[in-house]
Structure 1
């Protein structure tokens, strides 16, 4: 009994010492223990994702790949795999597993090695969020106490959810959602049993057991996980046998970019970084939904690319990228090795000419494929001499290329052809004119070679794209579409620029008094200058500012009548949208909404609407129509696809011109495309954008060409009631001219030649895009607004006409501004005033 009492006392003393030691350890580490309640609101480091308005992933920014998942969305079989592998008694213990600790302690005592961590999933959560991974006793003590506190603060499901989303699983994948995407390109609910087992086995050795880097070790680890699942009776013997026989199918899957639109994604990234800072933007798990329409964006990118290629190729071939050999041919493997040093680019493939016949060549690609380029893909390549000169059209392949040359090729959609990297730059941007939503934005031919966003950053001279705004100023003052303006040389020069400035027409032809509609449609320079003089320089500048152009970019002289002011394509398309929406200046926007990592909307747009508010909403609609647009891209906004007057919280765009003036200018801009007169009677005439009529083949489109001096900048801006689009083409180097091309005997009959200009250089890109963008949508009828009347006028004088033949037409007027006099027979001399010409106009 004496010995028994001693043993009991000893054990009790040891127990007291143990409790005391635990208490001492607890109070020792207590000051260093963090507040586990922060796990209730923890924000996992999740990358920034940018989407189109229809949910297509455009881009992803952030070092860590993570796709947070809720516990209820994790497949039960994957949960079984994780628990069977990491913590089989997870739902039974209270943060620490005594059995596991005892086992680890026994191994430590018998071997002297800390090979068993005995960490539960809760302990791993504690370590992952609050502690380091160093193997020290003090860290283990902290881990134990934190685990106990976590179990009291959180539910088992929440703890397991944190673990599943937090664990590093290799290849920058954090959490099971990201691992499913990175290794298998799947959602969690699409994983097979062996794939789940593979992911469940990764937390302990995400690098060593990585199925991509070490497939053999990964398979052993996967099969061990499956054996644990079988042992715990979570899978059957048949499932086990089938799964263990499955091959390793993991391979790296990058972020599933559904829509490559780098310029808009960079704008969205900049917006969020400026708002939240770089670290928060890249790790906060934000999802930005832009206003971009994925279908239209793809059409815009293709149209820009095709148009740039067309310009570049009609100016000639600049030669091979390199010469790989001359006399002693390389073997195929050496050629392939050399080609692999050059990456494919925007659909251009690096290849080597390995043989040739009279009118074809054979090329070897970096993948070892042999392709044949026939004459159809070679004949365009006459020699480039300068932007203004090209060599003769080739007749044989040897006049274009030679064996041993490294050249670019591309598939143009029909066949493979010789190609080259274009040097010219371009931009295209489209808006919904009713709320300013940016539907497409392409800031250049290649983001890879230049991140310079020409839509928002490039300020270029506007050229004749300015003329609709000059005519707007005059029409607001009293001009009508039938007003006669003298198309004659200007002799009284403007001397504000320091030298005598005498503008000329292009081509240099004059027809005397001409109706305003014709002058705008044919882009007659001297008529635009006289129109501006009528409106007055101050009124013209104020009108341009009302449309959103910056006052500091507008020179105070008459040259603005021909577009000497500097603008961005975004400013231009916004201004043209005013004509499409009835006179309202909307604010362009590209951010529809921002969501946090849990899908909660934290920022919602509030766009300006192009409509009149109800009387009780007038106060909310008040806005300064002359406000600067400097912050136009800092407004987060929302998509409105149809005109709507919204509600009491809506913002309203200022109406800067009357609905009637917007309608009249729009109707005149339709003549830019469709022309006028009667061709069968010899009085027909073309507008400068007649190609658009042939390509787009719609009567609800309106537009304006634009060309600056020496063709340094070319523009086409146009719209229909649903979409406004601007295309710009030029060189980033302002000193370079777009030049001209001579007739190419190898090209089609409808080829573009002579001087580059808005209609020929920017116009084809607009035509292709708008044709495809509007395909399948009904034409909008021409519906004059209230206050517009139509009367028949004499084409020569602009006065009223009693005739109903080709010498007259119905013209629109604001009620009260229509002509009051009838033309006399002596005045009806049509051949002076109506141009019968198919010659191309260059504005």
Structure 2
């Protein structure tokens, strides 16, 4: 027993020495190993300090039980080591968590930086749409998935706003773009129902999806949608969010926005909707086709009742109001979306045809374009009234079934009004831009303009008598001749013989070149009948040519588009047509003065206004085409009357002039009176271009023509009172004297024989005519006289309607 106690003491001393070393106290005696080396207890390193001893350790030491204390120390040592390792793991887990959180934060920040600007929302336009506006901003037509009835927040009825909030997003005013409570509620309901019975997308999320995203069901799209919704909520007011959402949400049957839906389903505006109708529309977003009252009225009513119940839950309406609305029978009045069809179809179709000139194919395919046009809506309405009224009320009596009008601002080249026919639904053929017709005497203006530009004087005299050049015989419409007359009198009375002679003197090449410079794009044939309008043109280009004169000789291409915006509201085309001087100012002043004579004492008298007017009538062969093109400094307008099958009319160009007058009276109301340029000095005037006279193979004048019963027996012998020469005939040489009927007299036309036509009634035929065009004549002299011209060929007409 004594030996056992001694051993315990020995172990206790060892333990005490080890503890003293641990505490930094020198041991008095350290036992040695059997081999004499100093040995340190193996538990010394991990023995905790006294302050950290466990109760078991303290008890063992007090009882002097070293074995128990050692074992307790070993247990404590293991526990302490485990705790250290555990703390090490927590450190690494914390670091990993911080890294993951930082990565997520960085990723969120990076994604947020790439989010589009909310500035796009107020001006957002869907892809595939096309909006065409008049000059004053009025929408003329909208195609594709466009919102046609845009409303401001102030125009939205409060009841309508409440219905959508109750149905789609009852915590709209509380959440920050994402409603986590709604997400939880929707998940719970969907789990219980084992089906998707409720969604959790807020109104803000739906707006983000409409404007920036697609309908793809993916995690990436959901994350982007949520982030964008929060950004929208931060940067836009709740009122703006509601306004844009209620204008853009698709509600079925081609209705985009609540304004369109009210019209499409009930044929009324939003402020006229009943509570039942409002709830019906508010119930459409989740499934516009399934809940459409045009598709399934019963389903629409059931969905309406759900919306009404939610409005009661939200406190927007009472139970009584809901019950009354549920009992209301829905009266559906289907209507076509507004502006899907144009009230100015000829013009808007022309605009669409012009778009490829200004934007690429890719941009057109993407769509979302808004086009600002040049159309003056009040003028367009008046033009429609004048032309359609004439077709209906005058056409049956005067033999024309179609008509067209073109109105241009000569200072800008902008097309301000366009009428292409009587009924676009029956015929989409635009007679203002597509119909190629003979302009008749209205083309004489270009012939005389060319002659004046070449230095001719309006007082130069020409012999109006029977005349044949290279087998071609121009005839005046009244089959009479007036003898020697000035160019000014000849254009005022629309004398055909003189016009042909002027063309011969100035030449085919300069005349055609002048016509092209003034705006004529159609092919012009170098024939004698060109002077009388035998080459076909369309109303747009002929009116554009006259606009060049109204703009002091500056050509600006007629156009209908001012600006084009892409779907984000950026300007991608801005019209910038620069004027080009193609006719010298002196020539413009003289021809304008001559054309004013057409109005004051010639064939254009019905077009007279309370201000200076210049213009010219035109009638093609057999009165197939009736024209009047007239202008004041601020406006130029052209009128055409005729038949699609090219049949003759029984009317005259005076009717066209009268219609021009009727339109212009309205268009110029309140418009300042501008004067034309002063007439320049005529003596010693030099031309700005060079004439290239035609050299005919043969000419003959002053002969008796049995076809029109005229010649020297008509009361005038054909002699020039200002020269000793009489009528003459030239053959083969291509030259002729100043007294020959094929040339002008350099002296002013005598006053006595100058023909002054008496005022004719408006029903009388005009004194102009375009005979059948002969074959083209080579300006160079030919060795032999050409054969007689063939019969006139009928011009191509648009398809009959």
TM-score bin (small chain): 0.5 to 0.7
Give how far 1:464 is off: 0.8
1:606 maps to 2:583: no
Q: Answer yes or no: is the 8 Å Cα contact 2:248–2:256 preserved in 1.
A: yes
Matched residue, 1:671: 597
Assess, with a 3 A threshold, how the Cα gap between structure 1 residues 213 and 560 changes in structure 2: closer, same or farther: same
Matched residue, 2:355: 272
Matched residue, 2:615: 703
More strand by share: 1
1:504 maps to 2:398: no
List per-residue Cα deviations over 1:770-802 (Å, max 9, x = no partner): 34433x346836555274589xxxxx9999xxx
List per-residue Cα deviations over 1:798-820 (Å, max 9, x = no partner): 99xxxxxxxxxxxxxxxxxxx99
Give runs of aligned pairs for residues 518-667 of structure 1, distance below 5 A: 518-550=489-521, 553-596=523-566, 601-607=571-577, 651=578, 653-667=579-593
Q: Alignment partner for residue 727 of structure 1, among 603, 623, 639?
A: 639
Give how far 1:179 is off: 3.0
Q: Alignment partner for residue 437 of structure 1, among 414, 431, 443?
A: 414
Which one has the largest radius of gyration?
2
Give how far 1:245 is off: 7.5
Aligned equivalents of 2:396 and 2:252: distance in 1?
A: 47
Give runs of aligned pairs for residues 143-162 of structure 1, distance below 5 A: 145-151=223-229, 153-155=231-233, 157=238
Give how far 1:528 is off: 0.9
Matched residue, 1:205: 287
List per-residue Cα deviations over 1:388-435 (Å, max 9, x = no partner): xxxxxxxxxxxxxxxxxxxxxxxxxxxxxxxxxx7x443210111221
List per-residue Cα deviations over 1:295-345 (Å, max 9, x = no partner): 2112222222233335641268xxxxxxxxxxxxxxxxxxxxxxxxxxxxx
Aligned equivalents of 1:443 and 1:272: distance in 2?
A: 19
Q: Alignment partner for residue 513 of structure 1, among 480, 484, 491?
A: 484
Give 5+ residue unaligned stretches, structure 1: 1-15, 134-138, 317-421, 495-499, 608-650, 676-686, 741-755, 791-795, 800-818
Q: Alignment partner for residue 228 of structure 1, among 307, 310, 314?
A: 310
Give how far 1:178 is off: 3.6
Assess, with a 3 A threshold, how the Cα gap between structure 1 residues 171 and 34 changes in structure 2: closer, same or farther: farther
Where 2:466 maps in the other structure, the secondary structure is: coil
Give how far 1:523 is off: 0.6
Where 1:508 maps in the other structure, the secondary structure is: coil
Q: Answer yes or no: is the 8 Å Cα contact 1:86–1:120 preserved in 2.
A: yes
List per-residue Cα deviations over 1:358-390 (Å, max 9, x = no partner): xxxxxxxxxxxxxxxxxxxxxxxxxxxxxxxxx
Matched residue, 2:62: none
Aligned equivalents of 1:508 and 1:51: distance in 2?
A: 51
Give how far 1:237 is off: 7.4
Where 1:45 maps in the other structure, the secondary structure is: coil
Q: Alignment partner for residue 604 of structure 2, among 689, 694, 719?
A: 689
Q: Answer yes or no: is the 8 Å Cα contact 2:486–2:748 preserved in 1.
A: no
Deviates more, 1:776-785 or 1:241-250: 241-250
Aligned equivalents of 1:279 and 1:197: distance in 2?
A: 41
Aligned equivalents of 1:538 and 1:97: distance in 2?
A: 78
Aligned equivalents of 2:766 and 2:257: distance in 1?
A: 62
Assess, with a 3 A threshold, how the Cα gap between structure 1 residues 726 and 658 changes in structure 2: closer, same or farther: same
1:57 maps to 2:139: yes
Matched residue, 2:429: 452
Aligned equivalents of 1:243 and 1:587: distance in 2?
A: 60
Aligned equivalents of 1:592 and 1:506: distance in 2?
A: 43
Aligned equivalents of 1:59 and 1:145: distance in 2?
A: 37
1:714 maps to 2:646: no
Where 1:289 maps in the other structure, the secondary structure is: strand
Q: Which has the higher contact order (CA 8 A, sep 6+)?
A: 2
Aligned equivalents of 1:146 and 1:45: distance in 2?
A: 19
1:314 maps to 2:397: yes
Where 1:461 maps in the other structure, the secondary structure is: coil
Aligned equivalents of 2:167 and 2:721: distance in 1?
A: 89
Q: Answer yes or no: is the 8 Å Cα contact 1:126–1:147 preserved in 2.
A: yes
1:86 maps to 2:1: no
Matched residue, 1:484: 461
Q: Alignment partner for residue 171 of structure 1, among 236, 243, 253?
A: 253
Matched residue, 1:364: none
Give how far 1:34 is off: 10
Aligned equivalents of 2:398 and 2:455: distance in 1?
A: 45
Assess, with a 3 A threshold, how the Cα gap between structure 1 residues 247 and 598 changes in structure 2: closer, same or farther: farther
Q: Alignment partner for residue 765 of structure 1, among 659, 663, 674?
A: 659
